Amino acid sequence: MLIQNRLREEHALQDILFKTLLKGAPTALPPREVNPTQSPTACRIHGHLYVNKVAGNFHITVGKAIPHPRGHAHLAALVSHETYNFSHRVDHLSFGEEIPGIINPLDGTEKVCTDHNQMFQYFITIVPTKLKTYKISADTHQYSVTERERVINHAAGSHGVSGIFMKYDISSLMVTVTEQHMPFWQFLVRVCGIIGGIFSTTGMLHGLVGFCVDIVCCRLKLGVYKPKEVGILDEHTSQTPLLTEADEQE
């Protein structure tokens, strides 16, 4: 799972559009450098399949295939279920034209059987994709996958055939990924608009601050903020009018 999680970080097409070394980027896992000391105990399958653009499946299971009108069947009765082991790892699986640098969702998938009689199913939805950039133009396919695994136990009602099954379906929609750059004149227009907005905002703030300063200074000059005169209390009344200069002269 660690290998798969690392690979899934770069599986999308838009993540590789602006790589300078796209054509030299690796696609699958690197080859093994350390030679095993023991003889291999498993099979390694590598190749290409040519299929029609309709839903279908391909699978790996036990027994020789015998064709019949509705498909084919496998003669697995002569093989003991205790010898089954469908643990597997998918190094690379892609559809359509192979583009270096694209990591697909199933690349690096590794499954270990918990039971001898176990089925692994992968439901794949393929989306045709056209890639148009300044460096590459290709028709390829992206896909999403849903995984399912279960133990085959006919006594418990879990029927089926042990093996690895890849069921794919092609979407009727197409995705076009195009790389576009902003024209230089449009960039200049946006820069001028931003600069003009900055000057307009600073001018408004400057005018507002100046208006507030003028109001405060004018009120200070008019004496609005001078301290008020306090009235003198009389013995007979609780309040007396303010003393003026005329009253003092009399």
**In a shared domain, residues 115 and 173:** yes
Summarised one tens digit per residue, pLDDT across range 210-230 is: 888 887 777 666 665 555 555
**In a shared domain, residues 18 and 75:** yes
**In a shared domain, residues 192 and 172:** no
**In a shared domain, residues 31 and 90:** yes
Q: Judge contact between 147 and 104, C-beta under 8 A.
A: no
Q: What is the DSSP letter of 232?
A: P
**In a shared domain, residues 20 and 129:** yes
Residue 247: what pLDDT? 46
63: left (phi over 0), alpha (psi -120 to 50) or beta: left
Domain final residue, candidates 178, 210, 226: 178
**In a shared domain, residues 50 and 158:** yes
Q: What is the DSSP letter of 76?
A: -
Summarised one tens digit per residue, pLDDT across range 39-88 is: 777 788 888 888 888 899 899 888 888 888 887 878 777 777 778 888 89
Instruction: Provide the residue range defining the domain that includes 191.
Output: 182-250
Q: Judge contact between 65 and 89, C-beta under 8 A.
A: no
**In a shared domain, residues 189 and 220:** yes
The pLDDT confidence band at residue 151, using thresholds 50, 70 and 90, is confident
The pLDDT confidence band at residue 125, using thresholds 50, 70 and 90, is very high
**In a shared domain, residues 56 and 165:** yes
With 50 as the cut, is the pLDDT of residue 22 above it? no
Give the count of domains, the chain. Answer: 2
pTM over 0.85: no
With 70 as the cut, is the pLDDT of residue 242 above it? no
